[in-house]
Amino acid sequence: MRYKECLWCFRSVGWVGLVTNSALMLMKSFVGLIAGSSALLADAMYSAKDVVTSILVIVGVNVSGQPLDRDHPYGHGKIEFILSLMISVVFLFITALLFVHALQLLLDSSTHRTPHLIALWAALISIAVNVVMYYYSRCVAIEANSPMVRTLSHHHHADATSSAAVAVGILGANYLGMPWIDTLVALFETMHLMFLGGEVFRDSYRGLMDRSVSKPMREKIVEIAKATKGVHEVNHLRTRYIGQELMAEVVLRVDPDITVEEAHSITDAVHHNMSRRIPNLGLVQIKFQSETVRSVVQEAAAIPSEAAAGCEQAAGCSKSKGCSTAAGTNPSKDLSLDLESVLD
């Protein structure tokens, strides 16, 4: 994180979200009931979802922030993906039930009624609070690179959009004489919730399956490594995210005559350069490969043919069967393969 204040925000974002979303959930549920607004009641589910998300953020921050130990040498970062996956599954199920209920209300004209305008004020308050919470949690998610907080920021954005739709539905029901608009808005809200749940499920699944970072980020890592003094080429790169942190395995091609001390210096330089330009960099494993691997193998493969020439000169049996058997092509092939496997 770039600033010390970011760490405080990261640790407190779950608690701030818990308080604000609990207040919004209670307000929208109460006003929705007394005002007779199905859309506002559905909107309360957005806040209920965010209450659960905030609780899981609090748990995730405390667990993922624990130091490495013997049983968890790569840290505890994947707890964030696990919790995000749990959130998505639960709310996909709940919103599917809400969708069926909203559809039944829309098809039953006897349930259509014009909501009281007090519901409009509740929707406007919800819009204002969620816009502020969206920018706050989005800032924390960017600085901390936290999947859980990013999920929370997406939910606040969805809540603000949902409350805006509720406000439009209430205005339409009151001033256009179409009370069914309120129920229609509730139906679209549940569809939107299912879409959001699907996105969270997809991102969490990818995180648990160790999906690689984006192509531009991989290219940036290669560029930084190649620009380091002593590195001739990047032969191999593997990346993945473990919670907030990016993990990388890099194989570098270097001069074969470097000392162990010089190799350590190159390793430190590569890691230092990456840390300065790549946010949330975690473990970086660096391996070296000599440029002379191919030349050594070629020289080794040439040894049998030299032996064959010596055999011919000593025995005076040019192209004899015995010499060709002793120094044929098969021993050359075997020696080459053995050397390659050892040097790799």
- The pTM (predicted TM-score) of the whole model is 0.59
* Most confident listed range (43-47, 124-128, 150-154, 203-207): 124-128
pLDDT above 90 covers a percentage of the chain that reads: 17
The 10 Å Cβ neighbour count of residue 87 is 25
For the chain, give every residue range classified as CATH 1.20.1510.10. Answer: 4-208
Mean pLDDT, residues 151-169 taken together:
85
Query: Residue 154: which pLDDT band, with cuts at 50, 70 and 90?
Result: confident
Q: How does pLDDT run across 2-39, given as a tens digit for each residue?
A: 666 677 888 888 899 999 999 999 999 999 899 888 87
Query: Residue 125: which pLDDT band, with cuts at 50, 70 and 90?
Result: very high
Q: Is the pLDDT of residue 95 over 50?
A: yes
Mean pLDDT, residues 234-263 taken together:
86
Tokens for 294, please give them: 């191919």
- State residue 136's pLDDT score: 92
- Strands of the sheet containing 231-242, edge to edge, are 231-242, 245-254, 281-290
Is 225 exposed, middle or buried (CB count within 10 Å of its CB: 0-12, 13-18, 19+)? buried
Give the torsion sign (CA, 99, 104, 105, 106): positive
The 10 Å Cβ neighbour count of residue 334 is 12
- State residue 317's pLDDT score: 44
Q: How does pLDDT run across 168-202, given as a tens digit for each residue?
A: 888 888 887 777 887 788 788 778 878 878 888 88
- State residue 298's pLDDT score: 40
- Average model confidence (pLDDT) for the chain? 77
Q: Is the pLDDT of residue 55 over 80?
A: yes
- State residue 291's pLDDT score: 60
Q: How does pLDDT run across 274-291, given as a tens digit for each residue?
A: 988 887 788 888 888 866
CATH architecture of residue range(s) 215-291: 2-Layer Sandwich (3.30)
Contact (CB, 8 A) for 107 and 185: no
- State residue 244's pLDDT score: 66
CA 116 from chain center: how many Å? 43
Q: Is the pLDDT of residue 234 over 60?
A: yes
- State residue 344's pLDDT score: 37
Higher local confidence (pLDDT), 312 or 84: 84
Residue type, 73: P
- State residue 3's pLDDT score: 62
For the chain, give every residue range classified as CATH 3.30.70.1350. Answer: 215-291
φ, ψ of residue 253 in degrees (nearest 5): -95, 125
Mean pLDDT, residues 303-308 taken together:
45
- The structure tokens 């949330």 sit at 280
Q: Is the pLDDT of residue 255 over 60?
A: yes
Higher local confidence (pLDDT), 223 or 301: 223
Residue 249's beta-bridge partner residues?
238, 285
Q: Is the pLDDT of residue 305 over 50?
A: no
Q: Is the pLDDT of residue 124 over 50?
A: yes
- State residue 330's pLDDT score: 39
Tokens for 93, please give them: 């199920």
Query: Residue 251: which pLDDT band, with cuts at 50, 70 and 90?
Result: very high
User: Does the domain at residues 4-208 carry the CATH identifier 1.20.1510.10?
Assistant: yes
Tell me the C-alpha distance between 35 and 285, whole Å. Answer: 60
Mean pLDDT, residues 240-261 taken together:
84
Residue 242's beta-bridge partner residues?
245
pLDDT above 70 covers a percentage of the chain that reads: 80
Higher local confidence (pLDDT), 124 or 86: 124
